[in-house]
Every structure is written in C-alpha cells, then in structure tokens.
C-alpha cells in the first residue's frame, strides 16, 4: 500500500476499498475525596456535598485570590495510584505538577494545575471482553492528576433561560484523574465496554461514585478513519487518514456510542467533500447534540505548545517510596473482571448473574458473606452449591424486595445468617420455592427473626402428612383427567398441570418434589 501523498487521489471519484475506525479515549474521573485537590475546602464530588448551593464550596485558593497557595491532597494521589495499579500501570517514583495555561470564565487562575511530561501513572494495559468475541488488550498511555474547572450555566433559578453565562465554582479544584488510552479501539461497542469496565473498577476501588449525570466521569473519544482508496487509472491503492476529531465531555454511554458512530460516517463524507487528511493543525474539537444525535464543531484543537506548559513553582514534586507504594497496593481489592470470572468458575453462575452481583461493591461483599454463612450453617453441600443458590436467591427474589424499597441488596435489612436460614429450609425441603417470597416479606416485617419461626407463623412449612398429600393428588388427578392420561402414556410434560393443581389445593404447603413422586406412583406405578 502507498500513502495518499504518493498517489494523487481525487476524493470525489476515488473508490473506497475499506474503512477502519480508529479511536483513542480520554476519561476524566472526579475523585470523591473529602476536600479539593489543592485546598481543604469541601469537594463537590464527595457524596456529603452533592447538593450545595452554587459558589459555596470556595475559598481564596479556589478563587485565585492574591497570595493564596496550593497544598497537595495526599488522598487524591493515593486514589489515582490505586486506579493506575488496577489498569496495570507503572507508578512513577517521581512526578511533578505543571501549569496548563488557557483562559476560560470558569477557570479563575487563568491556568489549570496538571501534570504534563511526568505523569503519576503510565504504560498500563487492561484486557476487556470485545463484541467480536474473546478479549482485547487496551493500552493505557498515562493517567495524570489535575484539578477540575468550574461550570458555566445558562439558567436562572426555577429553570428560566438566561442569555449570559452564570459561573459556579463549586466544582473548581475538584481532584480530576485523566486516563488516556492508546488508539486501540476499532468499534464503538468496544469503547463503551471499556468505559463501563473502567467505571466499575473506579466504583469498586471507592475512588468515585461514578454518577454520570453529575459529571463524575466524562468521556472524550479521539476519532478518525483509516481509508484504503483506489483512484481511477492509478496502479495500486492509497491509505488516507482523516483528521482526528475529539468529541468533548460525553457523560453517558449512549452519547459515547452515538458520537463515535456518527463521526465514523461524517468524516468519510467530509473527506469526499474537502479532501482534508490528517496533518499538523487539522485536529478539531466537536460537541455532542443529544437531541439531534450529531456532533457540532466547537473549535480547532490546540496542540500542547499552545498551553505554554511550565513546572508549577508553588508545589513540590510527588515522590513515591517503596513503602508508600506497597501500602497503596495493599488496598486494591480483587477487581470486577477477575471477580466475575471467579464467580462463574467457582459457583457456576451465569455471566449475566455474575455481572449483576459485581456491579456494586457492597453487593459483592454481601453476596460473599451470605455464601460463607450458608456454608457455616451447613445449608449447602458444597461451596459451589452455596454460591449458586445464594446468587439465584439474591437476584431472583431478594432483589425484587430491594427494588420495591429503592435500596441496594445489602441495605435491605436481611442478615447473611437469615439468607443462610432460608437456604437451610429449602435444602431440607421444609418450604417450597413458592414460599420464599412471602417468607422474605415476613422477615423484613419482623427484624432479626429466625426464618424457621417466621415460616411456621405464616403457614409456609411443607405438610408432611402422606395421607393428606395423597388426598390432594387424587383430587388433582380427577380434575385433570386428560393430563393424567398423558402422564400414563409417558408424556411427562403434562405432569405440570397436575402438580399445579396440587399446589393450589394445598395452598403451596407441599414440596414439589414430593408431589411429583406421589403423582408418578399413582399414574405409573
């Protein structure tokens, strides 16, 4: 293949032989430290300060008043190190702070304190499951720490439109970790998968709440197309690379996917019209219109020299010792991808069930405590049985009650020992599967009660009276003669109608396995 500069290509007449998407991703993560990056004023990304009135989380440092000096937030550095370690990054033993100079109304100092040539984390790698099947390694170029800017709004209190811009500095100075990937993506679905996995990792590490609507994570894909084209009459093909476009501040996975897919088509159309290809000064920044589902030009993209970086004179460098790195490394738990794989392999859970459990760190903790309680109570024959039964119970039944109350599974109010007690009753055949839901409701109404006593009080315990069971079976067979004849002739699918009739007659107080056995004895000897 030859480069497009070697073969004269008329974009209006050239034939496109192939088109390959190329995407690198920048992710800005607001860290949920108690205070801001360079001052002790409360942090807007900390849950305790989500709903503060505009311009109340400020002080002389945030407002850049004369004489105010920054002091580094150690917790923010440690959180960033944890994310870097989770992404397989090298942690720099020496990094420094730099001033990134540009003017914007929500940036009081006229510069942002960031990290330029010596970032805290660098050269990482993380594997993700991909749409085409299998896994793909995504390179992490760097993860550097900086401070967030304020916000500009255009609405007055009550939602009334305002023609000017209103500045809120509550977000200014929030610790902001910027993760930069290599351009290793070639489809929008894989970019979204990586973004979702990164959000899970960060929430699992406890470094951010990851609430997209609050801007805790903002995605900026860098997108261009690699085209193999053939010019009429030319001997051979040429490679054409469209100019890179950065789409700014996407705060939903839907917007991330939509922007990439839109750009992949728009850039080809633009090349057809203008013939513009990648080169110096060709990069541009675009925004995403979430209503019309299209990108809009904002400005031509600055290069690094436009920001006039220079070392921050008011801050000391970050020096990471062996002891400090070891201390932070010890805080990194088993990560979501590895944990999901373990749940599938060890407990036999499905991929989707494992994903649902791992989506919340507290749900993971609660699940594992319930599994341990089931094993300790002898409610399951093996660890695999305990994990599988616990997962199904939590996701199929307990989750329904949690959703009705608007809380997470772990906050519902059922102790792991109570979950184990439900297992024990099911394992012993003392309650049927249809009794689990009302039993959970009874346990929630009677704090700290024993599952067995609540099951007895609610009349959920399985009837062990063989005479009564046979009477119900006889009545169900008589009422379902056609189904009974099918079972006699070996058509076992029909037995469900008779089982259902017995359950109805008994009020659910018999074990389904015992009912099946009794029906088969009577109909097949």
Task: pLDDT band for 375, please (50, 70, 90 cuts).
Answer: very high
Token representation of residue 338: 């590895």
Which residue, 260, 304, 39, is CA-closest to 169? 39
Task: State the maximum Cα–Cα separation within the chain, in Å, rounded to a whole number.
Answer: 95
- Residue 123 and residue 75 share a domain: yes
- Residue 345 and residue 447 share a domain: yes
More confident site: 326 or 489: 326
Q: What angle do CA 331, 335, 337 make, to 5 degrees?
A: 175
pLDDT of res. 311? 96
Token representation of residue 219: 């995605």
pLDDT of res. 5? 45
Asked if the model's pLDDT at residue 207 lies above 60, the reply is yes
234 touches 8 (CB < 8 A): yes
Reported in sequence order, the residue ranges of 233-316 that DSSP labels E, i.e. its strands, are 238-241, 245-247, 284-289, 294-300, 310-311
Within a domain: 295: no
Within a domain: 231: yes
- Residue 247 and residue 152 share a domain: no
Question: Average of pLDDT values for 101-124?
Answer: 95
* CB-count burial class (<10 Å; 0-12, 13-18, 19+) for 120: buried
Asked if the model's pLDDT at residue 518 lies above 90, the reply is no
Within a domain: 327: no
Asked if the model's pLDDT at residue 509 lies above 70, the reply is yes
Give the separation between CA 504 and CA 97, rounded to whole angstroms.
72
Within a domain: 347: yes
pLDDT digits (tens, 9 = 90+) for 462-484: 767 678 888 988 999 999 999 88
120 touches 144 (CB < 8 A): yes
Asked if the model's pLDDT at residue 2 lies above 60, the reply is no
32 touches 259 (CB < 8 A): no
Within a domain: 329: no
Give the separation between CA 95 and CA 85, rounded to whole angstroms.
16
Within a domain: 325: no
Give the separation between CA 397 and CA 403, rounded to whole angstroms.
10
Give the separation between CA 466 and CA 178, rounded to whole angstroms.
68
Give the separation between CA 140 and CA 173, rounded to whole angstroms.
25
Reduced to 3 states, what is the DSSP secondary structure of residue 518? helix
What count of other Cβ atoms lies within 10 Å of the Cβ of residue 313? 7
What backbone phi and psi angles, to 5 degrees, belong to 326?
A: -65, -40
Give the separation between CA 46 and CA 214, rounded to whole angstroms.
11
- Residue 308 and residue 163 share a domain: yes
Residue entry with tokens 């789409």: 247
Within a domain: 64: yes
How much of the chain exceeds pLDDT 70, in percent? 97
pLDDT of res. 523? 86
- Residue 173 and residue 45 share a domain: yes
- Residue 419 and residue 499 share a domain: no
What does pTM read for this prediction? 0.85
Give the separation between CA 26 and CA 261, rounded to whole angstroms.
17
Characterize 354-376 residue by residue with b for buried, 16 or more Cβ atoms within 10 angstroms of its Cβ, and e for exposed: bbbbbbbbebbebbbbbbebbbe
pLDDT digits (tens, 9 = 90+) for 388-411: 999 999 999 999 999 999 999 999
Give the separation between CA 191 and CA 85, rounded to whole angstroms.
21
Question: Mean pLDDT score of the chain, rounded to an integer?
Answer: 92
Give the separation between CA 423 and CA 56, rounded to whole angstroms.
51
Question: Average of pLDDT values for 487-506?
Answer: 87
pLDDT of res. 6? 45
- Residue 141 and residue 94 share a domain: yes
98-101 vs 94-95, strand pairing mode: unpaired
CA-CA-CA-CA torsion for 76, 80, 85, 90, nearest 10 degrees? -110
pLDDT digits (tens, 9 = 90+) for 119-165: 999 999 999 998 888 899 999 999 999 999 999 988 887 778 888 88
- Residue 105 and residue 239 share a domain: no
What count of other Cβ atoms lies within 10 Å of the Cβ of residue 264? 20
Within a domain: 493: yes
pLDDT digits (tens, 9 = 90+) for 335-357: 999 999 999 999 999 999 999 99
Give the separation between CA 336 and CA 333, rounded to whole angstroms.
9
The sign of the CA dihedral 381, 382, 384, 389 is positive
* CB-count burial class (<10 Å; 0-12, 13-18, 19+) for 164: exposed
Give the separation between CA 173 and CA 458, rounded to whole angstroms.
57
Task: pLDDT band for 218, please (50, 70, 90 cuts).
Answer: very high
- Residue 269 and residue 142 share a domain: no
Range of the domain at 442: 336-457
Q: What angle do CA 211, 116, 192 make, to 5 degrees?
A: 35
Asked if the model's pLDDT at residue 421 lies above 60, the reply is yes
How much of the chain exceeds pLDDT 90, in percent? 72
Task: pLDDT band for 301, please (50, 70, 90 cuts).
Answer: low
- Residue 68 and residue 9 share a domain: no
pLDDT of res. 4? 44
Q: Please list, in sequence order, all residues whose beta carbon lies within 8 angstroms of the beta carbon of residue 367, skipping any fewer than 6 positions away.
A: 357, 390, 391, 394, 409
pLDDT of res. 303? 66
- Residue 179 and residue 87 share a domain: yes
- Residue 230 and residue 124 share a domain: no
2-3 vs 238-241, strand pairing mode: parallel
Q: What is the CATH number of the domain that holds 478?
A: 1.10.10
The total domain count for the chain is: 4
The sign of the CA dihedral 236, 242, 243, 249 is negative
Characterize 82-103 residue by residue with b for buried, 16 or more Cβ atoms within 10 angstroms of its Cβ, and e for exposed: bbbbbbbbebbeebbbbbbeee
Asked if the model's pLDDT at residue 321 lies above 90, the reply is yes
């Amino acid at each position: 293949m030859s480069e497009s500069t070697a073969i004269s290509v008329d974009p209006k007449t050239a034939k496109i032989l192939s088109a390959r998407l190329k995407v690198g991703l920048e992710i800005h993560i607001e860290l949920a430290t108690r205070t801001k990056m360079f001052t002790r004023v409360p942090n807007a990304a900390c849950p305790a300060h989500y709903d503060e009135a505009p311009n109340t989380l400020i002080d002389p440092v945030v407002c850049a008043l004369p004489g105010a000096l920054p002091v580094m937030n150690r917790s923010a550095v440690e959180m960033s190190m944890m994310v870097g370690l989770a992404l397989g990054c090298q942690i720099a033993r020496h990094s420094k702070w730099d001033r990134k100079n540009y003017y914007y109304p929500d940036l009081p100092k006229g510069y942002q304190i960031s990290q330029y040539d010596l970032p805290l984390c660098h050269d990482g790698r993380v594997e993700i499951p991909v749409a085409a099947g299998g896994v793909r390694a995504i390179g992490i170029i760097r993860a550097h720490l900086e401070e967030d800017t304020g916000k500009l709004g255009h609405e007055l209190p009550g939602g009334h439109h305002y023609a000017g811009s209103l500045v809120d500095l509550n977000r200014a100075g929030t610790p902001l970790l910027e993760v930069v990937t290599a351009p290793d993506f070639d489809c929008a679905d894989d970019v979204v998968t990586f973004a979702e996995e990164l959000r899970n990792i960060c929430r699992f590490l406890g470094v951010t709440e990851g609430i997209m609507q609050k801007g805790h994570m903002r995605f900026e894909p860098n997108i261009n197309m690699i085209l193999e084209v053939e010019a009429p009459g030319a001997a051979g093909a040429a490679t054409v690379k469209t100019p890179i476009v950065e789409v700014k501040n996407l705060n939903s996975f839907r917007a991330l996917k939509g922007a990439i897919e839109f750009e992949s088509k728009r850039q080809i159309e633009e090349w057809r019209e203008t013939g513009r290809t990648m080169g110096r000064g060709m990069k541009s920044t675009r925004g995403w219109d979430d209503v019309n589902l299209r990108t809009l030009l904002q400005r031509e993209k600055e290069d690094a020299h436009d920001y006039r970086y220079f070392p921050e004179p008011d801050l000391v460098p970050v020096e990471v010792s062996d002891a400090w790195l070891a201390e932070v490394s010890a805080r990194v738990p088993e990560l979501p991808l590895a944990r999901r794989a373990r749940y599938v392999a060890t407990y036999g859970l499905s991929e989707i069930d494992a994903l649902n459990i791992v989506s919340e760190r507290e749900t993971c903790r609660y699940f594992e405590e319930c599994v341990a309680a089931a094993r300790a109570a002898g409610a399951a024959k093996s660890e695999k049985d305990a994990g599988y039964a616990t997962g199904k119970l939590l996701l199929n039944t307990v989750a329904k009650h949690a959703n009705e109350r608007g809380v997470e599974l772990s906050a519902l109010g059922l102790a792991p020992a109570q979950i184990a007690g439900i297992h024990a009753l099911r394992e012993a055949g003392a309650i049927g599967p249809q009794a689990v839901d009302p039993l959970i409701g009874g346990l929630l109404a009677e704090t700290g009660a024993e599952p067995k006593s609540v099951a007895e009080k609610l009349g959920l315990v399985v009837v062990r009276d063989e005479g009564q069971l046979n009477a119900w079976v006889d009545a169900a067979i008589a009422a379902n003669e056609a189904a009974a004849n099918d079972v006699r002739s070996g058509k076992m699918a029909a037995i469900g109608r008779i089982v259902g009739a017995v359950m109805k007659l008994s009020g659910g107080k018999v074990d389904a396995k015992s009912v099946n056995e009794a029906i088969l004895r009577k109909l097949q000897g």
